[in-house]
Amino acid sequence: MSTPGTSTQLKGKVALVTGAGRGIGAGIARELGARGASVIVNYRGSVETAEALAKDITAGGSEAIAIQADVSQVDQIKTLFEKAKEHFKKIDIVVSNSGIEHFGALPDVKPEDFDKVFSVNTRGQFFVAQQAYDHLSDGGRLVLMSSISAHNAIREHAVYAGSKCAVEAFARCFSQEFGRRRITVNSIAPGGVKTDMAADVGYKYLPMADSSWSWEQIEEVVSKRTPMGRIADPVDIARVVAFLASEDAGWVNGQNITISGGASG
């Protein structure tokens, strides 16, 4: 398993990561902290893990705090940014990571199912970006979270995939508005990543699998689809985000970056 890097690449920067209580978001928060950034660990319900992560980042030498907010609620997004700005006095990096999975056959999808997914994955990211526009320092960074599902034809995955397609369009369009303040906007589209969410629904991505499959079986099949023979760890995604957050990525703007290890299918 890969481990977070350590450097002073982001020293003096302040990063806000939504949905950072677990999974990919936690990996991103940890990596940015390891590279010197102060970190706001946003979470919706994972209070214990979010606070533990903030303590770990602080123990590693970077300041971190955990702030609760549900990004499906615009007023809570606004409060999140206000609290973050009040504590750190500035925000240099925003990573809009919050998201929820969904699988459902077309005839079975209810309006409330559709709305629940889009309220977080799409609407939530739009209004996180709106607050980022108001609060990011000039020369800052905004990274939105798409998914490889936006590019692939996956059975019964249309709602989730559609919610992520929109995010890639957001990044392209937002880059035109943020650019006047030298703020870059990009999206990333991870492939399979070893997280608790993947363990719960990973079998649904594999036509030959069913709910009886163990995570070990799922991981074996997915690993065979990548040239390097493994599934991604959250830190693999986090390192790309750390690059986009750095000075080195100052001319990367309005792009979507697929992070799949070259996976096929």
Q: Which residue is catalytic, options 43, 160, 203, 205? A: 160
Q: Which residue is catalytic, options 62, 164, 194, 246? A: 164
Known catalytic residue at 147 = yes
Q: Which residue is catalytic, options 98, 147, 246, 260? A: 147
Q: What are phi and psi of 11, to 5 degrees?
A: -60, 135
CB atoms under 10 Å from CB of 112, counted, come to: 8
Known catalytic residue at 116 = no
CA 42 from centroid of its chain's CA atoms: 11
156 and 104 in contact (C-beta within 8 Å)? yes
Q: What are phi and psi of 143, to 5 degrees?
A: -120, 125
Known catalytic residue at 149 = no
Known catalytic residue at 164 = yes
Q: Which helix (H) or strand (E) holds 215?
A: helix 215-224
Q: Which residue is catalytic, options 46, 72, 146, 163? A: 146
Q: Which helix (H) or strand (E) holds 39?
A: strand 38-43
DSSP per position, 142-176 = EEEE--GGGTS--TT-HHHHHHHHHHHHHHHHHHH
Q: Which residue numbers are catalytic?
A: 146-147, 160, 164
